[in-house]
Amino acid sequence: MSRRMFPGLVAASAALAAGGCGGTETDTVSDSASGPTASFDEAAVLARSAEVAGQFQAELQAKLKEALAAGGPILALDVCHSAAPMIAAELSQESGADLSRVSARNRNPDGGLTEELLPHYALLQEMPLTDGKPSREIWRSGEGEAARINVLSAIPMQEQPCSVCHGTDVAPEVAAKINELYPGDKAIGFEPGELRGAMLISWPADEVGG
């Protein structure tokens, strides 16, 4: 399984975090918690995870920036709707990790929390930032061939541009478009600093030495 290494892109993702549709400076996050019995190289898994998440971020932000400039939030909603799941699927295939975004108040109907994620998400919710950087959780799950190393990285809500589509005062035409694309949407009404969601990067344990 080949994986792409674009350190430049990862660095660029931080600069592009103002683009929209899901921003977290995943290349600079700090570790908020770890399993007490971790037997794998935690720092290495966190670094690889940050790299994959950074690629996701960079590709999505580039598409969104372009769409926002070309057609405003309505077009950007369409772009995010189709591009976000597609980029996640592509990067999952390339990296070997399963990449997805989740939230307690999700927009994408597939982005809800599983029972396994709940306690980890709750900790991120309590403290979205650690030393000014998005908090993360890392833990091992499953046994034998099903064993996985999981990283959950906080995505804090920001004023700009997130509030256009996730804030407390979403414009009526933007809200209408959101409801058309996501009839069960729960992802508006967020205040800056709250946890908007998290990125889950889940590795087969044998692939990362765990």
Restricting to residues 100-159, name those near ligand HEC by CB under 6 A. 101, 103, 106-108, 111, 155, 157-158
Give 122-179 as a DSSP string: HHHHH-SEETTEEEEEEEEES-GGG-EEEEEEEEE--STTTHHHHSSS--HHHHHHHH
What is the spatial distance between Cα 52 and Cα 40, in angstroms, rounded to a whole number?
A: 19
Least separation in angstroms between residue 37's CB and ligand HEC is 30
| Bridge partners for 129 per DSSP | 134
Q: Which residues ranging from 42 to 61 are in contact with ligand HEC (CB under 6 A)?
A: none
Tell me whether residue 53 or residue 205 sits nearer to ligand HEC (CB atom): 53
3-state secondary structure of 121: helix
26 forms part of the interface with ligand HEC (CB under 6 A)? no
In the numeric block, which tokens belong to residue 193?
Answer: 């600093």
What is the footprint of ligand HEC within residues 164-203 (CB under 6 A)?
A: 164-166, 187, 196-197
Select from 5-13, 19-27, 33-41, 49-57 the region that touches ligand HEC (CB under 6 A): 19-27
CA distance 60 to 22: 8
User: d(Cα 167, Cα 187) in Å, to the nearest integer?
Assistant: 8
Spell out, one character per residue from 63 to 102, where the chain touches ligand HEC: x when CB under 6 A holds, - when not.
----------x--xx--xx--xx---------------x-
Q: Which residues are near ligand HEC by CB under 6 A?
A: 20-23, 73, 76-77, 80-81, 84-85, 101, 103, 106-108, 111, 155, 157-158, 161-162, 164-166, 187, 196-197
